[in-house]
């Protein structure tokens, strides 16, 4: 299947972009574009087109997901299909008109290929190329893994295999380790079995333990009852000792209460109320006295305050007058300063007038001096004329100088034209020179052709030498017909398959021999350790017993001498029979080991037979190959050397053809060189130039070129000078006209200058500098007069008007206050009035403060009276309840009431404490116990009781410990779950061992299957794939490596590159670029093998030549060109310099698409 057109309708950054892939002999297409042009997007488009859009895509940044669409046309031998692919959940395949197509419509074109398979087998980019080379480097010691990874497009098989091996080793291994899960579970099983054995119940032990527990329980109960009695007695004595003092104190307090008699009950806080009322009365009396004195003082102060109400009414006018005073304070000084400035400006103006020579300048007033100044337009006109004078003068001088320069140049050009010679070059000389020049470097070309001949001859010699001893002569070599590459590949595959089979057979034989030795060692060690009795041992003993008995019956041996021997044989036979019955399991194990030993022996015999069979097949194959070589005239040539020798033969024939062509080109160059040299000599002689016989083509060309160059230079110079003279005439006329215009402008300026000086009153013939200085003095006079007017009008007159208004306002304010304004200065008036206003305001504020304080004092007096009344009212109920009239009697009644209340509270609390600490006894019972006790012997009795209780406690503790130990022993024998736990642990260990076993079988089988797949692929594909990959690799490395070879003596086998000198280079010894080329060669060879068995799909190559130089990039393109004859190749790159190399390989029919 091939792609004829791809339309990126709405996809990624593309909109309605169509790419054509026309068919050609080499179905190779190049797509070139700079970075971010969309090559990666295009590569993803192939996968999305054939297998559908993924659920999530990053290519919807321009078009929404629902609008993504690709369209293409594909074809194969059976037909053509034009279809669309859209983004959606179903019916994503559409016809060009939008009609849904079934998903199986592409199966006839794609076969069984999936998206992942297409990406790995038919897609290759630079990162994957580098990664593949690195993975080959990691797996360089396993040729099967290298081939499998390169052919399948997958990587890191070594890591997967190592991970499986590591996990299997962690699960189980013949070598016991505490870190392996199987042996961990086995140890747990052993522990559970031992625990289960320990908890097995025995009847006699259980009975003794149970009886001992019952005896100890009875002893403990007796001790506990006796201790309870002792503790009860101690509690009674402790209660008497603890409560006797409280009983005595309670009786004393009750006696005192009876002695007090009847007492008036007053409130609990009566004493506090009396004390608080007395303190409050004293404080209130003190406050009333103090506030009365303060009130009299403030009333006297209030009477002494006097307020100026008229000034307060005019406060706003007085403050406004004071504001004006501050504002106009500097007016007098400023007026004097401005008057001085005006005087200075007037002096400067009169000095300038004197310098101008104006008559009576020192005695003129302001108006007269202003009238002497020329009008402003006249002054500005003179300034303009001064500015124009410099430019007019320079223009006149420049015009005159330009006319003179142009006239001099014209004269010089006419003189040069007169000196130039007139030369005409013959046509024959030009023709001969052109033909010689077309040859380039004739001598260099001859030398190069000779070198090519020598190089071709050397290459032929090297190629013939490389053929070795099998080369006879060139005709024989040309006529020699070798087997085709397919036949050689098939033979190599057969030879390598036989070698692999032999190696595998030898490996299996070695493993079988090792297994036989191991089984024999296990059998011997088992016999030495267990000494099991077999059936044969029992039969032999019984046979000896029977022989002895028969000899006794036949009288061959006398009874006296043979009886003891007969008895020994009987005992021996019986002992062996009993031992075999007792050790039946060991005997069965021994029989099993013997069977395993015999099976391993049988496997070894089978392996030996298979090894001999494979060796015979390999020998027969080698003899057939030697016969084939002898028939070809290449005796004893190894099979693996034949492909390389065939390639070398092709190179030798190609070198022979190249040498023939080089000689023909060299002879043609010699003939052309002689004809050109003769034509040059004749043309030079005809032109009158000297010619020597020893002159070469280069010398004649140089002489002819110098002659022609000199003639052409003279003609060009004459034409240039003629053109310059023609162009100079109108320029000279224009310059002369410009000179006349400049002279007229200067004359008009002089007339205007004279008129302006007359209007300004200046002398007509005054120099320009004097006129400019006079204008400066006039401008200074005008500026000074303007400043004087401004100072007088805008500053001095305004300030005098402000001062007069200030004076009038002050007089009016004085008249309002009834004061005469005559002879009073306005500033002083303002200050005096502000002082009066300030004093009036202070008096007003003082009156307000005194009245406010006086009001506060009256409020305090009222509060003091209220406090006296409140304190007297709080004592009135106490007087009435106590039935007394003064404070002293009330105080005595309060003391009696408080004492009576305290005794009642103490008695009540004592009774409550007595009952709380009486252990539930009533007061009467407690009183009886205290009175009946012997208080003198109480402490002694308590000491004796405590000693008895301590001794009884120790004995009870000892019995409890013995009882706990006895119960533990009884529980250990029966009645606990120890056996169940042990059995549970045993079952868990067995389950874990089963899980480990199941997991080990899966992991070990997976590792073996992966290893088997790699080895099987190597055995089946190694020969054809290596032969094809070696040829591609040789081309990619420009012959640096002749082919690929496998070192069968290494374990595992190693893939190596074979150089032309026979040196083998492993993958680790190759450069990064060479490893990339090796991986590319293996991928291309695997793809070619795949295409022989499956439908062809487009091969997408993305920037594969980043690490390639130009020569190897061209070689890689040749390899892709050969692949493009089997399937379509689409090459993506951002290196446009590869286009020249690609055109060199594919010719003008190359399809180039620019993004």
The three-state (H, E, C) secondary structure of 107-163, written as one string:
HHHHCCCCHHHHHHHCEEEHHHHHHHHHHHHHCCCCHHHHHHHHHHCCCCHHHHHHH
Q: What integer pLDDT is reported at residue 843 of this predicted model?
A: 82
For the ranges 502-511, 580-589, 603-612, 1077-1086, the lowest mean pLDDT is seen at 580-589
Which pLDDT does position 980 carry in this prediction?
62
Q: Is the CB of residue 1012 less than 8 Å from the CB of residue 145?
A: no
**Of 560 and 1069, which is predicted with more confidence?**
1069
Range of weakest confidence among 44-48, 325-329, 871-875, 1122-1126 = 871-875
Residue 875, pLDDT above cutoff 90? no
| Residue 992 token pair | 């874990």
**pLDDT: which is higher, 415 or 432:** 415
Please tell me the predicted confidence (pLDDT) of residue 144.
42
pLDDT digits 0-9 by tens, 479-503:
777 777 777 777 877 888 888 888 8
Measured distance CA(1085)–CA(1083) in Å, rounded: 5
Cβ atoms of residues 618 and 498 within 8 Å? yes
pLDDT of residue 801: 85
φ, ψ for residue 887, nearest 5 deg: -70, -35
pLDDT of residue 416: 75
> What pLDDT sits at residue 148?
45
The band of 1130, judged by pLDDT with boundaries at 50, 70 and 90, is very high
pLDDT exceeds 80 at position 469? no
Is residue 972 predicted with pLDDT exceeding 70? no
Q: What average pLDDT does the chain have?
A: 78
Q: How many CB atoms lie within 10 A of CB 473?
A: 8
Residue 152: the pLDDT is 44
Look at domain 485-643 and name its CATH class: mainly alpha
Confidence of residue 1101 (pLDDT cuts 50, 70, 90): very high
- Higher-pLDDT residue of 1139 and 597 is 1139
Average pLDDT over residues 138-144: 46
Q: pLDDT of 978-1015, one tens digit each? A: 666 776 777 787 777 788 788 878 877 877 776 666 55
| pLDDT score for 524 | 78
Rounded to whole angstroms, what are the CA distances from 554 to 549, 822, 1048?
9, 195, 73
Residue 143 confidence (pLDDT) above 50:
no
Task: State in Å, rounded, how far the first CA of the chain is from the last one.
Answer: 25
Give residue for tokens 């098939």: 490
Model pLDDT, residue 140: 45
Question: For residue 804, what pLDDT band results from cuts at 50, 70 and 90?
Answer: confident
Percentage of the residues of the chain whose pLDDT score is greater than 70: 88
Contact 425, 687 (CB under 8 A): yes
Mean pLDDT, residues 543-564 taken together: 78
3-state secondary structure of 1102: strand
Please give the average per-residue pLDDT across 674-703, as a whole number: 72
The 10s digit of each residue's pLDDT in 770-790 is 777 777 777 887 888 888 888
Q: Is the pLDDT of residue 200 over 60?
A: no
Q: Of 86-95, 113-122, 310-319, 964-973, which range is least confident?
A: 964-973
Pair 85, 93: CB distance under 8 Å:
yes
Q: What's the full length of the chain, in residues?
A: 1155
pLDDT for position 151: 47
The predicted structure's pLDDT at residue 910: 79
Residue spans per domain, the chain:
203-264+891-939, 275-314+826-877, 326-374+767-816, 428-479+644-686, 485-643
Say how many C-beta atoms besides its own lie within 10 A of residue 157's C-beta: 22
Cα(625)–Cα(487) distance, rounded to whole angstroms?
12
Predicted confidence (pLDDT) per residue in 321-330, tens digit: 788 888 888 8
For residues 298-308, average pLDDT:
79
Burial 492-506 (b: 16+ CB within 10 A, else e): bbbbbbbbbbbbebe
Q: Which of 571, 595, 583, 598 is nearest to 529 (CA)?
A: 583
3-state secondary structure of 57: coil
DSSP 749-811: HHHHHHHHHHHHT--TT--HHHHHHHHHHHHHHHHHHHHHHHIIIIIIHHHHHHHHHHHHHHH
Q: Which residue has the higher pLDDT, 1095 or 882?
A: 1095
Distance (Å, whole) CA 541 – CA 1138: 94
Torsion, Cα 757 762 766 769, to 10 degrees, reads: -90
Flag whether pLDDT at 146 surpasses 50.
Answer: no
In this model, does residue 881 exceed pLDDT 60?
yes
Contact at 8 Å (CB) between 177 and 183?
A: yes
Whether omega for the bond prior to residue 4 falls within 30 degrees of 0, making it cis, is no
Instruction: Quote the pLDDT of residue 841.
Output: 82
Q: What is the pLDDT of residue 154?
A: 39
The residues facing 18 across adjacent strands are: 7
Least confident of 313-327, 642-656, 1096-1110: 642-656
Q: Do 255 and 906 contact (CB within 8 A), yes or no?
A: no
In the numeric block, which tokens belong to residue 1009?
């299957």
- Which tokens belong to 76? 């194969």
Q: pLDDT per residue over 1070-1091, tens digit each?
A: 888 888 888 888 888 888 877 8
pLDDT the model gives residue 573: 77
Most confident of 4-18, 190-204, 382-396, 908-922: 4-18
Q: What is the pLDDT of residues 84-102, one digit of tens each?
A: 999 888 888 999 888 888 8
**Residues 440 and 669 sit within 8 Å (Cβ to Cβ):** no
Per-residue pLDDT tens over the stretch 231-250: 787 787 777 777 777 778 77
How many C-beta atoms lie closer than 10 Å to residue 824's C-beta?
Answer: 15
Q: In the chain, pLDDT over 90 holds for what percent of residues?
A: 5
């Amino acid at each position: 299947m091939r792609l004829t057109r791809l339309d990126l309708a709405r996809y990624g950054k593309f909109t309605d972009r169509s790419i054509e892939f026309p068919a050609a002999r080499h179905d190779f297409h190049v797509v070139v574009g700079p970075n971010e042009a969309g090559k990666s997007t295009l590569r993803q488009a192939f996968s999305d087109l054939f297998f559908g859009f993924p659920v999530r895509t990053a290519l919807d940044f321009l078009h929404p997901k629902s609008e993504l669409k690709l369209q293409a046309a594909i074809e194969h031998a059976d037909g053509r299909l034009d279809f669309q692919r859209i983004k959606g959940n179903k019916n994503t395949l559409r016809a060009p008109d939008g009609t849904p197509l079934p998903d199986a419509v592409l199966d006839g074109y794609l076969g069984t290929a999936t998206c992942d398979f297409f990406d790995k087998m038919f897609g290759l980019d630079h990162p994957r190329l580098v990664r593949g080379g690195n993975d080959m480097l990691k797996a360089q010691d396993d040729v099967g893994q290298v081939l499998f990874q390169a052919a399948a497009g997958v990587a890191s098989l070594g890591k997967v295999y190592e991970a499986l091996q590591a996990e299997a080793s962690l699960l189980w291994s013949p070598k016991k380790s505490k870190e392996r899960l199987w042996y961990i579970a086995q140890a747990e099983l052993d522990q559970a079995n031992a625990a289960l054995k320990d908890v097995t119940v025995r009847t006699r032990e259980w009975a003794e333990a149970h009886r001992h527990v019952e005896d100890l329980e009875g002893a403990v109960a007796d001790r506990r009852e006796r201790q309870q009695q002792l503790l009860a007695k101690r509690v009674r004595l402790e209660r008497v000792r603890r409560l006797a003092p409280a009983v005595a104190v309670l009786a004393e307090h009750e006696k005192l209460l009876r002695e007090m008699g009847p007492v008036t009950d007053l409130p609990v806080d009566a004493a506090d109320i009396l004390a608080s009322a007395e303190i409050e009365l004293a404080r209130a009396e003190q406050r009333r006295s103090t506030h009365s004195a303060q009130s009299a003082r403030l009333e006297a102060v209030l009477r002494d305050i006097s307020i100026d109400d008229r000034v307060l009414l005019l406060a706003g006018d007085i403050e406004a007058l004071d504001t004006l005073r501050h504002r106009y304070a500097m007016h007098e000084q400023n007026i004097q300063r401005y008057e001085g400035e005006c005087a200075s400006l007037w002096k400067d103006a009169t000095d300038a007038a004197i310098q101008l020579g104006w008559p009576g300048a020192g005695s003129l007033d302001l108006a007269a001096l202003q009238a002497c100044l020329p009008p402003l337009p006249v002054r500005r006109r003179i300034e303009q004329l001064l500015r124009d004078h410099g430019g007019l003068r320079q223009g006149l001088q420049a015009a005159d100088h330009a006319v003179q320069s142009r006239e001099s140049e014209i004269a010089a050009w006419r003189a040069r034209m007169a000196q130039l010679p007139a030369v005409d070059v013959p046509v024959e000389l030009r023709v001969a020179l052109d033909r010689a020049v077309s040859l380039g470097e004739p001598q260099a070309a001859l030398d190069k052709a000779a070198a090519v001949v020598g190089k071709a001859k050397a290459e032929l010699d090297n190629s013939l030498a490389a053929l070795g001893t099998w080369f006879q002569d060139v005709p024989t070599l040309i006529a020699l017909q070798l087997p085709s590459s397919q036949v050689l590949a098939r033979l190599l595959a057969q030879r390598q398959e036989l070698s692999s089979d032999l190696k595998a057979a030898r490996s299996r034989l070695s493993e079988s021999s090792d297994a036989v030795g191991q089984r024999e060692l296990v059998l011997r060690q088992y016999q030495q350790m267990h000494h099991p009795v077999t059936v044969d041992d029992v039969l032999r003993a019984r046979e000896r017993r029977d022989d002895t008995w028969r000899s006794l019956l036949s009288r061959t041996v006398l009874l006296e001498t043979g009886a003891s021997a007969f008895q020994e044989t009987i005992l021996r036979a019986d002992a062996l029979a009993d031992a075999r019955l007792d050790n039946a399991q060991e005997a069965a194990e021994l029989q099993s080991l013997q069977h395993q030993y015999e099976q391993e022996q049988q496997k070894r015999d089978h392996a030996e037979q298979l090894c001999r069979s494979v060796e015979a097949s390999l020998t027969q194959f080698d003899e057939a190959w030697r016969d084939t070589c002898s028939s070809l005239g290449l005796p004893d040539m190894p099979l693996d050397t034949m492909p390389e020798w065939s390639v070398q033969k092709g190179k030798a024939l190609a070198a022979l053809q190249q040498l023939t062509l080089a000689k023909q080109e060299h002879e043609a160059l010699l003939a052309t060189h002689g004809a050109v040299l003769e034509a040059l000599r004749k043309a030079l002689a005809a032109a009158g130039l000297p010619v020597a016989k020893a002159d070469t083509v280069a010398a004649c060309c140089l002489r002819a070129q110098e002659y022609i160059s000199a003639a052409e230079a003279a003609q060009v110079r004459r034409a240039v000078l003629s053109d310059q003279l023609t162009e100079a005439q109108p320029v000279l006329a224009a310059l002369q006209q410009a000179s006349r215009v400049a002279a007229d402008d200067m004359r008009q300026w002089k007339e205007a200058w004279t008129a302006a000086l007359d209007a300004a009153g200046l002398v007509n013939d005054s120099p320009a500098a004097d006129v400019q200085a006079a204008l400066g003095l006039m401008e200074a006079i005008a500026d000074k007069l303007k400043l004087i007017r401004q100072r007088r009008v805008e500053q001095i007159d305004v300030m005098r008007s402000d001062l007069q208004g200030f004076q009038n306002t002050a007089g009016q304010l004085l008249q309002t206050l009834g004061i005469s304004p005559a002879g009073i200065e306005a500033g002083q008036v303002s200050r005096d009035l502000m002082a009066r206003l300030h004093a009036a305001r202070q008096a007003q504020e003082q009156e307000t403060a005194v009245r406010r304080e006086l009001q506060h004092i009256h409020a305090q007096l009222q509060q003091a009276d209220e406090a006296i009344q409140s304190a007297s009212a709080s004592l009135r109920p106490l007087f009435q309840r106590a039935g007394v009239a003064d404070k002293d009697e009330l105080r005595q009644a309060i003391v009696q009431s408080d004492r009576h209340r305290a005794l009642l509270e103490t008695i009540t609390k004592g009774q409550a404490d007595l009952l709380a600490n009486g252990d539930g006894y009533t007061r009467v019972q407690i009183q009886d116990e205290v009175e009946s006790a012997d208080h003198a012997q109480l402490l002694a009795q308590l000491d004796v009781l405590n000693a008895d209780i301590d001794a009884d406690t120790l004995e009870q503790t000892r019995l409890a410990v013995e009882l706990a130990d006895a119960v533990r022993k009884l529980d250990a024998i029966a009645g606990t779950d120890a056996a169940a736990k042990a059995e549970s642990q045993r079952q868990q260990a067995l389950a874990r061992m089963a899980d480990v076993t199941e997991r080990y079988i899966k992991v070990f089988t997976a590792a073996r299957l992966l290893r088997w797949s790699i080895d099987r692929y190597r055995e089946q594909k190694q020969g054809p794939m290596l032969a094809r990959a070696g040829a591609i690799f040789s081309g990619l490395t420009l012959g640096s490596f002749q082919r690929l070879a496998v070192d069968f003596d290494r374990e595992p086998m190693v893939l190596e590159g074979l150089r032309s000198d026979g040196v083998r280079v492993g993958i680790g010894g190759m450069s990064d670029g060479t490893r990339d080329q090796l991986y590319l060669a293996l991928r291309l060879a695997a793809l070619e093998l795949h295409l022989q068995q499956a439908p062809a799909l487009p091969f997408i190559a993305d920037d594969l030549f980043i690490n390639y130089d130009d020569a190897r990039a061209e070689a890689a393109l040749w390899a892709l060109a050969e692949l493009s004859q089997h399937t379509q190749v689409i090459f993506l790159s951002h290196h446009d310099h590869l286009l020249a190399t690609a055109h060199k390989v594919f010719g003008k029919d190359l399809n180039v698409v620019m993004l």
